[in-house]
Amino acid sequence: MLRHLAGHQDSIQSSDFAPSSDCLASGSWDKTIHIWKPSTRSLLVQLKGHVTWVKSIAFSPDELQLASIGYSRMVNVWDCNTGKCIETLKGALDVAHTCTFTPDGKLLLVSGVAE
């Protein structure tokens, strides 16, 4: 079933379903992340803080956090309930491409290129 979720001001670059599938996150060229409840098509929270477009996002297994990578190489970790950025990681990679949490949620894996 195809559904349209209106809210971003530009194209969506990345998306991720929460492990329970009750929430969907979308990262956009508009530099924001939206967390949605797909069943009602409602926007739960908007995350702002990237200075460039959002290229990768990933929910933690417990769904309490969301990691995101901006084109600026900045990796943010967000509190899904408050919408606040709780951690910013920089420096290990020249270009970061994707992020994912380990199954136990204790580590965040960021892949990319280090020169």
From 71, 101, 74, select the one nearest 90 (Cα to Cα). 74
Average pLDDT over residues 88-100: 79
Give me the CATH number covering residue 104. Answer: 2.120.10.30
Q: What is the reported pTM? A: 0.86
**pLDDT at position 8:** 67
The residue segments making up the domain with residue 52 are 12-113
Residue 16 within a domain: yes
Distance, in Å, from the CA atom of 25 to the CA atom of 114, rounded to the nearest integer, reads: 27
Residue 5 within a domain: no
pLDDT band at 92 (very low <50, low <70, confident <90, very high): low
Tally of structural domains, the chain: 1
The DSSP annotation for 55-92 comes to EEEEE-TTSSEEEEEETTS-EEEEETTT--EEEEE-SS
